[in-house]
């Protein structure tokens, strides 16, 4: 199973960001969405990027504890043809307590070698300017016997725990808050791949994502070498 997860504080309800996200998928014939959903409700068949605008970040009015708030409704889409995947966008919003809730883009897909998943990941990072994002193929031991609430389950879900990253994925985006004390030149000098963006950088452990499934043992060694460049305790998992 391939997973892409991005966490961002950008205003994802803005259609300009929505258009960039959808363009990233629609620009590849194997990733063009087929069916649109809000939560579990099917709302339309996909026709075009511009055709999604009316459904992007529609507002739900919620009353809780005597207070009315408006929350942007996320959008989800599926594709049953190759490459089979689903993507869900949860919008950045403010909770009833006035706390900022980060937006998220989550992709679950059947891995297909004919799709340039890193290109998609890079475009999504550019569109959403995330604080953290991950791209990884999960199989074998990284899927088996995972218990809820553990660092392993958080890694699979692509979420942070108290602002900390569970484990290093094949590729990950680190926003500026995670780059403090990290020497990018040392990463590159140790053979890792780093693409610098305005809001952070994208790191790849190897050049080919299929290394994760073709030779997990070697990949794990490379991942351990990468993690040794970071400060102790940076990742929840050793």
pLDDT of residue 84: 97
pLDDT of residue 68: 83
pLDDT of residue 48: 98
Q: Which residue has the tokens 């590849």?
A: 28
The contacts of residue 206 (CB under 8 Å, 6+ apart) are: 170, 193, 219, 222
Distance CA 94, CA 71 (A): 8
Q: Which of 133, 134, 90, 135 is closest to 111 using CA atoms?
A: 135
pTM (predicted TM-score): 0.96
CA distances 100 to 91, 106, 122, 131, 158, Å, are 11, 19, 25, 13, 19
HSE-CB for 71 with a 13 A CA cutoff = 20
Phi then psi for residue 182, to 5 deg, are -95, 125
Helix (H) or strand (E) holding 194: strand 193-197
Helix (H) or strand (E) holding 204: strand 200-204
pLDDT of residue 96: 83
Distance CA 167, CA 171 (A): 11
Is 200 exposed, middle or buried, given 0-12, 13-18 or 19+ CB atoms closer than 10 A? buried
pLDDT of residue 104: 98
Helix (H) or strand (E) holding 77: strand 75-79
pLDDT in tens, the chain (238 residues): 999 999 999 999 999 999 999 999 999 999 999 999 999 999 999 999 999 999 999 999 888 777 888 899 999 999 999 999 999 999 999 988 889 999 999 999 999 999 999 999 999 999 999 999 999 999 988 998 889 999 999 999 999 999 999 999 999 999 999 999 999 999 999 999 999 999 999 999 999 999 999 999 999 999 999 999 999 999 999 8
């Amino acid at each position: 199973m391939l997973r892409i997860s991005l966490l961002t504080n950008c205003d994802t309800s803005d259609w300009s960001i929505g258009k960039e996200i959808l363009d990233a998928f629609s620009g590849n014939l194997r990733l063009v969405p087929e069916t649109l959903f809000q939560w579990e409700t099917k709302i339309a068949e996909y026709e075009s990027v511009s055709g999604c605008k009316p459904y992007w970040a529609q507002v739900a009015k919620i009353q809780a504890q005597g207070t009315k708030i408006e929350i942007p409704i996320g959008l989800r889409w599926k594709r049953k043809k190759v490459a089979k995947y689903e993507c869900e966008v949860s919008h950045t919003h403010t909770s009833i307590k006035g706390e900022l809730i980060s937006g998220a883009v989550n992709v679950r897909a059947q891995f297909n070698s004919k799709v340039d998943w890193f290109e998609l990941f890079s475009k999504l990072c550019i569109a959403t300017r995330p604080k953290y994002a991950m791209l990884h193929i999960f199989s074998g031991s990284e899927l088996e016997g995972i218990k809820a609430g553990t660092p392993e389950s958080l890694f699979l879900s692509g979420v942070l725990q108290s602002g900390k990253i569970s484990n290093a994925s094949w590729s990950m985006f680190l926003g500026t808050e995670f780059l403090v004390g990290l020497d990018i030149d040392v990463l590159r000098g140790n053979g890792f791949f780093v693409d610098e963006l305005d809001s952070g950088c994208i790191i790849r452990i190897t050049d080919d994502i299929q290394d994760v499934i073709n030779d997990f043992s070697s990949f794990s060694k490379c991942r351990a070498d990468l993690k040794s460049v970071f400060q102790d305790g940076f990742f929840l998992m050793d």
